[in-house]
Amino acid sequence: MKTRPLVALSVAVLVFLCKYLLHGYT
């Protein structure tokens, strides 16, 4: 499976930010 580093990094960052924001506001 060829995965683009930028795409994988972007997805990881988005997920991390989403979880961080959700935990922060909750």
pLDDT band at 24; cut points 50, 70, 90: confident
Map tokens 């994988």 to a residue.
8
pLDDT in tens, 1-17: 577 889 999 999 999 99
pLDDT, mean of residues 13-26: 88
Render the burial of 12-22: b for 16+ CB within 10 Å, e for the rest. Answer: eeeeeeeeeee
User: Does the predicted model carry a pTM greater than 0.75?
Assistant: no
What DSSP designation does 16 have? H
- The residues spanned by each domain of the chain are 1-26
CA triple 15-17-13, angle to 5 deg: 55
Q: Coil, strand, or helix at residue 23?
A: helix
Closest among 9, 1, 4 to 17, alpha carbons compared: 9
- Determine the pLDDT at residue 23: 86
